[in-house]
Chain A
């Protein structure tokens, strides 16, 4: 029941927010987001770090198709749930005034769609039935579409359409694989979409490869990976920073989440078979994303592209099949969520003040707005993996695992650290340092509300940078189980 409540709270909140009078909408919406946060934390306290699917509930949904309403979380799911419930209230607070601005679709719509998106995302991370997962996976797109299309800069309608087409295309390719799983399970006796039933199937290698292709293409689009990433930059450029946080920090995690749970979990042989291609694509994403980011002039576009590089790291960590890599990847998913959210939100505050997102049109901000510049610097340093901030730990683990996999893979991946320093610091240098621009009003520093919004993210970065143990305790059983399923021998493995 716990997880159902967790999903229903924001869903009900979305409907209520859409129908209460305009003045109340934001408060009501925030209230529901806060309640969801409490429910998420309550769920976490009931979770036992021993691993396995917990807080499960299973009901038959569509008997004729073997579909169940089945929920449950393992360590990976729990972390994603927590990331979601923490980020959504922050995004709502950040969009408090912005969504009311001229030309935007109104705060009520922004709050309602955000809550709807939160509900669907939570369902994605907790679904343990493949068809239920697919249904909510696709359902996230509708609120995302209206968030992109309704709020942000000119040209967002086109960006929203591009986003939706890309995602739907991926989803439909995955649908073919989902149906394929159904047919396989029907042929082996009784049709069922339950994850536990499907994991017990013995799927022949050729079929596995086809099914893998369907799932992987969908998740690669979602994550995103080279060469199906082109929706990312357009979307983050046109959408509001808050929407981008929801998309990049929460929704895109579904891609890597799905790779772990479905590609590795259900199709282990095919996953190993595909490793060389996936590793190369991940490396290309890492390097290409960083290189392209360096060349951007639009702050939001730049941040969006850095995520391409980061997701490359995550995918690389997953597909090197070692406990270091897997743990690093999952940790990276959490850290990337926090660090990128900070970066987007601070950049959003900056753009509100300067009225432009162009790096060339900014300069000398740190003189009049030192706090803003400070937050921006920390976010940038986190992106380039400074020790002491949490992304460092995960990046290091992935790189170590990459070297263990093959020295060449490791040496390519390590290049990205240099490139990351380049794009992050160079962006900071061009926007924040130097002489203040003449002819424009000086940039006002962050007020207390804004500091309050981004401070929790900064604290989390520092905390998990020095003390990642709570996260690792939750992650380790997942990695162990997943790798055992793939058949990789692990040091210290007891099964």
Chain B
């Protein structure tokens, strides 16, 4: 038996991860000991402070990273090679943290619903009972949502940086479990919210099981959980290739579930609709970013040599996701469900970029690479999504948020600014030029076409046309349809939500007009450590 070697811990490089985790734990302590009245302020300040500190840490680490082992990639392997802190990791960390700051701002919003947040007064009170009424009357609100969210952020950072299958699984679970809980905490329409949480949990647990089973099979094939070792095994073609294939398939189920790719998309509409809108905003943006980071790392680093067996699978899943997502979105009458299906379609578009992987020597000088394209797309998608859901939380009637699309008729007259901003986000999602969505689409389509995946690009173009229809339909309702009854009402938000929306819109515009800096940043992020 080999002697146990104590792994060295790279505290400086792990700083962002450690801060987020520390703040999450501290949040639990605050929840236990601070008086009820002080918790809201304490938690909001603590979470924001932690996220900002982590973001600063990411910037410092990114300035300092060195080339790893004479390779193309820059970064370090931390804690005995279990966590890879390389360019793509840092890019995704920065993005997740920025989106999480937006998430905290939305969580903390209290102006929209009569001075309380969007979360249930007392989650344990059964809907419709006296206990619930009492909790509402006492203006209670759950402040546990902040530490829960910080744990989720920690998971979102660990997931794409994990450099072996077990760490990746831990990341997956840490990111998922808090989100299951958060989905069930809506203040209004609680049954819908609890149903969403249960569905999400059950299906998520299943998909985790698939992932774990796949990890076991890959371990059986390669004799290691480590990505570099798996890559080595694939390269040398050791063992039974059926183990590898089945293992790859099962791992893919787990990962593709998280990004909501067809045929694992069934949970998205229910969860997006049922969860409190701030949670939906944070979850939709953050999960997708983190999970695509993990997908790229697994496929590129561990299974890159086996490209020919997983690329066809991604072709099919990408095409299916685009079409099913776009087609089902058209039939929706609820704006949150519509955005959910549109996110399924976006998953397809992002996968188009993922499958555009080419060997580095096949790229022309200055040609855009697949990692670069996907990272850019994730940035555009993340900010547009969080902004769009933030706008959804503003449009209300007497029963709280009104998410039925036909109730949005006349919004263009009721509140030109809100309608214009939402229309802008929709145009970005449709990929109209001068919005970030266009450059994102251009980038992922380019890499896919350069990699020879022209059938996928043709399908993606057709799917984009279908998707454009659904976004335009919403714009038409807002601007050109006559309002039903007394029409929608727009609740005026505090500076918190307003900031999130403004930043989302500003980023969406900036990345559409001058995408250069972020594209360059994604290029500097470079390759994964192999």
Contact = CB atoms under 8 A, between A and B. Distances in A.
Interface of A: 61-66, 131, 134-139, 141-142, 145-146, 149-150, 156-158, 160-161, 164-165, 168-169, 172-173, 175-176, 179-180, 182-183, 186-187, 189-191
A64 B468 contact: no
Contacts of A161: 472-473, 476
B223 to A, nearest CB: 40
B472 A164 contact: yes
Contacts of A66: 366
B349 to A, nearest CB: 12
A136 B366 CA distance: 24
A176 B476 contact: no
Interface in B478-506: 479-481
B248 interface: no
B367 A186 contact: yes
Contact of A168 (B365, B468, B476): B468
B450 A183 contact: yes
Given A62-B519, A63-B520, A164-B468, 4 more contacts: A158-B476, A168-B430, A176-B445, A176-B449
Contacts of B523: 64
Contacts of A160: 476, 480
B458 interface: yes
Interface string B442-454: 1101100110000
Contacts of B368: 64-65, 191
15 contacts: A64-B519, A64-B520, A65-B439, A136-B433, A137-B433, A161-B472, A168-B430, A175-B442, A176-B461, A179-B449, A182-B449, A186-B367, A187-B364, A191-B364, A191-B368
Contacts of A176: 445, 449, 457-458, 461
B520 A190 contact: no
Contacts of A158: 476
A231 to B, nearest CB: 13
Nearest to B477: A157
Contacts of A164: 468, 472
Contact of B445 (A156, A169, A175): A175
B481 A157 contact: yes
B465 A168 contact: yes
A66 B442 CA distance: 12
Contacts of A139: 432-434
B172 to A, nearest CB: 32
Contact of A135 (B365, B366, B438, B476): B438
Contacts of B445: 175-176, 179
Contacts of A180: 449
Given A61-B516, A62-B519, A138 B479 contact: no
A64 B372 contact: yes
Overall SS of chain A's interface = helix
A191 B447 CA distance: 12
B366 A146 contact: no
Contacts of A134: 433
A138 B432 contact: yes
Contacts of B520: 63-64
Contacts of A65: 368, 439, 442-443, 446, 519
Contacts of B430: 168
B231 interface: no
Interface residues of B, number: 42
Contacts of B434: 135, 139
A165 B472 contact: yes
A172 B464 contact: yes
Given A62-B515, A135-B438, A183-B450, A142 B443 contact: no
Interface in B350-385: 363-368, 372
B469 interface: yes
B124 to A, nearest CB: 47
Nearest to A137: B433
B461 A175 contact: yes
B30 to A, nearest CB: 44
Contacts of A145: 472
Contact of B516 (A62, A131, A165, A186): A62
B317 interface: no
Nearest to B365: A190
Nearest to B444: A179
Nearest to A140: B433
A136 B438 CA distance: 12
Contacts, number: 115
A424 B438 CA distance: 43
B24 interface: no
Given A62-B516, A65-B446, A165 B432 contact: no
Given A134-B433, A160-B480, A190 B364 contact: yes
Contacts of A64: 366, 368, 372, 515-516, 519-520, 523
Contacts of A182: 446, 449
Contacts of A189: 364-365
B427 interface: yes
Nearest to A210: B454
List 9 A-B pairs, minimum CB-CB distance, nearest first.
A157-B480, A135-B433, A64-B519, A138-B433, A169-B465, A186-B364, A186-B367, A168-B468, A149-B480
Contacts of B465: 165, 168-169, 172
A492 B519 CA distance: 50
A164 to B, nearest CB: 5
A137 B365 CA distance: 29
B476 A157 contact: yes
Contact of B367 (A61, A149, A157, A191): A191
Nearest to A60: B516
Contacts of A61: 514, 516
B446 to A, nearest CB: 5
A172 B468 contact: yes
A179 B458 CA distance: 11
Contacts of B441: 175
Contacts of B367: 186, 191
Contacts of B514: 61-62
Contacts of B450: 183, 186-187
A148 to B, nearest CB: 10
Nearest to B376: A64
A156 B482 CA distance: 13
Given A64-B519, A139-B433, A179 B442 contact: yes
Contacts of B438: 135, 138
Interface in B259-299: none
A137 B465 CA distance: 16
A186 B450 CA distance: 9
B458 A156 contact: no
Given A142-B427, A164-B472, A172 B461 contact: yes
Contact of B479 (A149, A187, A191): A149
A135 B436 CA distance: 12
B256 to A, nearest CB: 25
Given A65-B442, A190-B366, A173 B461 contact: yes
Contacts of A62: 439, 514-516, 519
Contacts of B462: 172
Contacts of B427: 142
Contacts of A183: 446, 449-450
Contact of A179 (B457, B473, B479): B457
Contact of B480 (A138, A150, A190): A150
A277 B512 CA distance: 37
Nearest to B448: A179
B348 to A, nearest CB: 15
B33 to A, nearest CB: 51
B63 to A, nearest CB: 21
Interface centre among B434, B438, B461 (most CB of A within 10 A): B461
A165 B363 CA distance: 35
B476 A149 contact: yes
Interface centre among B464, B481, B514 (most CB of A within 10 A): B464
B97 to A, nearest CB: 24
A136 B441 CA distance: 16
Contacts of A173: 461
Interface centre among A65, A139, A169 (most CB of B within 10 A): A65
